[in-house]
Structure 1
Amino acid sequence: MKKDKNLRWLATTKEAITQILQITSTTKGKDSLQLPDIQVLLYAIKTMDYDNKTKFPKQQDLGNELGITARRISMAVTKLQKLGFFTKVKKEAKTYYVNPFYFYIGDYRDLHHKYEIWKKLRPDVKKEDDAFNNPNYPEMSI
């Protein structure tokens, strides 16, 4: 794994941007993304490593850094998981796996492997939602 200090680039997809725009502009109520949710999402992306994992500090510390309450941090994390932006990594405290269909770090050749990990962590992902079924998406060799 490369050192994080050399990390300068990440990739995102149009689907991620479309999803965020749609959720912030057309959705009302508890499923809409509010500013604190977006702050937590951006923090997760900013701290993501080459394995697409992010580790959050204590909610109080993260709240102090972002200027929001620990309770609001908890609510944002729950909402972002529900919406599929990231999911909890079992056996790793405060660690989340960022959905590589939306955001990833590393070579595009690693994307298929990262997506396979995502599907294992999130078995609720349906086959028709799999980006690799898209005929316009290039084949990847492992």
Structure 2
Amino acid sequence: MTTINEMHQIFNLQKTQYDRAQPMTYEERVTVLNQIEALIRDNISELITALQADFGQRDPLQIVSADLTGPLATIAYIKKHLRKWILPAKQRSGLMALTGTKQYVYNEPLGVVGIMSPFNAPIDLALDPAVEAIAAGNRVMVKISEYTPKTAALVQKLSQG
């Protein structure tokens, strides 16, 4: 179980890394999304085993459909649209348009996003918002519920390796 002090240390490390680095490029974001997708696809049986251990023999089809399909679908959708989303969006200038002024909205990442998943959907409700935050260019800190210890330990092991 991760303590509050450990979470503060991880957050501060993430914040320091974010402050030092330039915002992630499109290619870097897609690379990270591909890594998360591969992490899920390559470890489906281990994820099913961990979730079954935490929930007491949950049906593998239910695990795949409820916990693993969501993040994979989100990643596919984001990769399809991300290039368009990160472009500056033209904004109406109102009366300033008469002077030739053009306005754009530049979407910029917030920094570090903390995500805490509940016990009943630890993978889906951790990874869905995580991939969205990563697509936006943020760093992500994920805390999986202490009520699903096997799943939390597996995700931590997989994310570090």
TM-score after normalising by structure 1: 0.32
**Structure of larger gyration radius:** 2
TM-score after normalising by structure 2: 0.30
The structure with the greater share of residues assigned to helix is 2
Higher relative contact order (CA 8 A, sep 6+): 2
